[in-house]
Structure 1
Amino acid sequence: MSASAAPARLNGLVFDRADELGADVHEQVVFCHDRDSGLKAIIAIHDTTLGPALGGTRIYPYASEADALTDVLRLSRGMTYKSAAAGMDLGGGKAVIIGDPARIKTRDLLLAYGRFVDTLGGRYVTAADVGSTADDLDIVAEATRHVVGKNTGGSGDSGYSTAYGVFCAMRAAAEHRYGPAGLAGRTVGVEGVGKVGSRLVALLSSAGVDRILVADPYQPALDQLTSTLGHVSAVESILVEDVDIYAPCALGATLTAPHVRDLKAAIVCGAANNQLATADVADELRARDILWVPDYVANAGGVVQVGAELYGKDHEEVEAKIAAIATTTTEILLSAEREGISTRAAADAVVEQRLAARRAELADSEPAR
């Protein structure tokens, strides 16, 4: 196409978006459809500057394909930033499969999905996410070797690692705000007590936290925690409760400007991806003196675990790298205070500096033409 030719318009879906994603650039977006199994999936590769794009597969009943696309674009960008902030030699990618996992998830569908992943030749490496499990990955791995976090020959479920990373970040934020006592004597509200949130509750309960409030639409999960841990109570919504720390651990976008204005917590730190409904909510949090640990910093434990499979790292190295999330958190909080900027801006700067340095290295290594 000549330089003067007009670009095709795609109704703002990928190349001409009017939202905050419009200013970002994704390397590749693949729409996958298998008629026989009913698979409808989107794989988004955001950036491979640091290495292959790694990210989980989310199976979710999106209201529309446009909603699915927006989610996968946001999630894949978050994976680039998550891996970079955690010091991993990985890029960012994500996949979504459209549909209710309880209804559509079959062996044939997972195999079809694996075949699509395989066509990307390792540019994208998949793992588990909402709606998918390590058992599912064992099936996907029959069709592609570009899978991590599976049970057979992999490191398995990454829920604990994600929860432990959030715990390390939360403890660092609490020490930054409250001093050496940190989490001791505090009230923490955990929203979403699935495979990550429930493990976070267990870690908090053994760390001197005075009271833990939990919210989740799945009643059996609440009953399990409240019946076994005496200082855990179930509530309708964490956002309206009087807590010291709010831990969003379900789906994202719970932090809207109105919610932040009503939020009673002094710290926000959780496992959910894309917690801010819009980027400017980070400034709302700063204006209210609420310490927000950017989600891609706090929840990097899972990608540290499964990403280590690609490079042969052992358990001790993985544990140390997850624990280092606390140091990264402290550095970001201090930088934000020193520069007078939001924690989002401070964390983004760390990532963008690492990406720029790597791009410079790659440019220098290219042979002269």
Structure 2
Amino acid sequence: MDRLTTTAAGTLFGLHGEPAHERIVLATDEASGLQAIVAVYSTARGPAFGGCRFWQYASDHEAYNDALRLSQGMAFKNALADLPFGGGKAVIVRRPQTLDRGALFTAFGRLVESLEGIYITAEDVGTTADDMRAVQAETRFVSGIPRENAVYGGNPSPRTAYGVFVGLLAAVEAALGRTSLDGVSVAVQGLGSVGWDLCERLHQAGAQLIVADIDATRTARAQDLFNARVVATTDIASVQADVFAPCALGGSITEAVAANCQFKVIAGGANNQLISLAEGDVLHRRGIFYAPDFLVNAGGIISCVREYLGSAQEQAVLAEVAQIGPRVFELAERVRASGVAPARAAVAWAREKMVAC
């Protein structure tokens, strides 16, 4: 088909108790099987920048809600990272039937182009650099792609992992007074691109690793290479460790986990780790320092933004990602001064930056 069938959901819809999203777009393309949601939470700082998730959901409602939550998180993430962009996210619903990925992401590229620059896409869970190349065939509003002539760009996951490592290290120092990770126990949930890279860095820093993943091959490899203790995915949030690093999908900090977990610090790469801010309040009352995901996992979007703008080289990007550490310390100071839980303090800080831009 030459055109996408598109329906704008309007600006009256958004997360419960939150300001409405600026725009929510639903799009389908019969030829490719595309069923996509693009959620633009805010363009106060500039066009909405955020990745595209390709995932199989239990229901369309779940996919829709995920897009809303992820786009809000991107707005907070970009604001705290001082990037000149707002927040948005795309979700493509993955169906069980075999799909032509090239046709699917080409159709998605047409959708992105139809939004005329209000939303800029990139990689996220379930998508690859090759997918973004297919998108690029239809639109320039895309990042996370290896560029020609040694121009900076490509898979942002290593920069995400580096940012999480820097943020985790700062959180440990802020909460526990330890300037080294040597001997610190860290439970890592999820050994995908970010989780695995993080484990490598933690192991090199002397941390004692506990790991869980749905792929037994990955956990066995982590056991061999990092001397990691392997536990079931259902048990990782209940082990005793200094630090919990969620690096799988969101929602790992449930009401039960917040009330019963045995960690001192939580800092990881997954988006939307808290079910709600209420879980963050529980962690705070229990003396557990939670470094919000949208603060510590910003390395990937920093990488994608600098690639998109063509304004940096590798070392400059890494230096910018390293500023996540000082921001964690600043958040800790805000928490000490206000008594507000870190999750709420970080949201308030991000909203300040969204208004003041």
TM-score after normalising by structure 2: 0.92
Q: Is the 8 A contact 1:252 1:272 kept in 2?
A: yes
Which residue is 2:213 aligned to?
216
- Residue 306 of structure 2, aligned match among 287, 297, 308: 308
- Residue 76 of structure 1, aligned match among 71, 85, 95: 71
Q: Give the fraction of aligned pairs with identical amino acids, expressed as a percent.
A: 37
Q: Which moved more, 1:131-140 or 1:322-331?
A: 131-140
Alignment of 1:337-348 (within 5 A): 337-348=336-347
Is the radius of gyration larger for structure 1 or structure 2? 1
Which residue is 2:167 aligned to?
169
Alignment of 1:260-279 (within 5 A): 260-279=258-277
Decide whether aligned partners of structure 1 residues 279 and 102 sit closer, same or farther in structure 2, where only a CA change above 3 A counts: farther
SS of equivalent residue, structure 2 residue 16: helix
Which residue is 2:349 aligned to?
350
1:225 and 2:222 aligned: yes
Which residue is 2:118 aligned to?
123
SS of equivalent residue, structure 2 residue 24: strand
Give the distance between the partners of 2:97 and 2:293, measured in 1 at CA: 27
Q: Is the 8 A contact 2:281 2:341 kept in 1?
A: yes
Alignment of 1:1-369 (within 5 A): 15=12, 20-100=15-95, 103-104=98-99, 106-153=101-148, 155-209=153-207, 211-229=208-226, 231-236=227-232, 237-314=235-312, 315-358=314-357
- One-letter code of the match for 2:209? I
Q: Which moved more, 1:233-242 or 1:65-74?
A: 233-242
SS of equivalent residue, structure 1 residue 23: coil
Q: Is the 8 A contact 2:32 2:100 kept in 1?
A: no
Which residue is 1:363 aligned to?
none
SS of equivalent residue, structure 2 residue 50: strand
Which residue is 1:364 aligned to?
none
SS of equivalent residue, structure 1 residue 21: coil
Q: Is the 8 A contact 2:13 2:20 kept in 1?
A: no
Deviations 1:234-293 (A, max 9, x none): 111211111110000001111112111110000000001001112211110111000000
Q: How far 1:121 sits from its partner (Å)?
A: 1.0
Q: Is the 8 A contact 2:44 2:355 kept in 1?
A: no
Which residue is 2:4 aligned to?
none
Q: Which moved more, 1:285-294 or 1:24-33?
A: 24-33
- One-letter code of the match for 2:228? V
Q: How far 1:39 sits from its partner (Å)?
A: 0.6
Deviations 1:172-209 (A, max 9, x none): 01111222444221100000010000000000011121
Q: Is the 8 A contact 1:161 1:302 kept in 2?
A: yes
Decide whether aligned partners of structure 1 residues 158 and 101 sit closer, same or farther in structure 2, where only a CA change above 3 A counts: farther
Deviations 1:109-166 (A, max 9, x none): 1111100110011111100011101111111111111110012456111111001000
- One-letter code of the match for 1:269? A
- One-letter code of the match for 2:263? A
- Please report the RMSD computed on the Cα atoms of aligned residues, expressed in angstroms: 1.7
- Structure 2, unpaired ranges of 5+: 1-8
Decide whether aligned partners of structure 1 residues 81 and 102 sit closer, same or farther in structure 2, where only a CA change above 3 A counts: farther
* Equivalent residue pairs, number: 343
- Structure 1, unpaired ranges of 5+: 1-9, 359-369
Q: Is the 8 A contact 2:142 2:308 kept in 1?
A: no
Q: How far 1:15 sits from its partner (Å)?
A: 3.0
Decide whether aligned partners of structure 1 residues 304 and 200 sit closer, same or farther in structure 2, where only a CA change above 3 A counts: same
- One-letter code of the match for 1:233? R
- One-letter code of the match for 1:86? A
Give the distance between the partners of 2:303 and 2:163, measured in 1 at CA: 10
Q: Which moved more, 1:161-170 or 1:315-324?
A: 315-324
Deviations 1:318-364 (A, max 9, x none): 11110000000010011101111100122122211111112xxxxxx
Give the distance between the partners of 1:141 and 1:259, measured in 2 at CA: 41
Decide whether aligned partners of structure 1 residues 268 and 93 sit closer, same or farther in structure 2, where only a CA change above 3 A counts: same
- One-letter code of the match for 2:287? D
Q: How far 1:102 sits from its partner (Å)?
A: 8.6
- One-letter code of the match for 2:215? Y
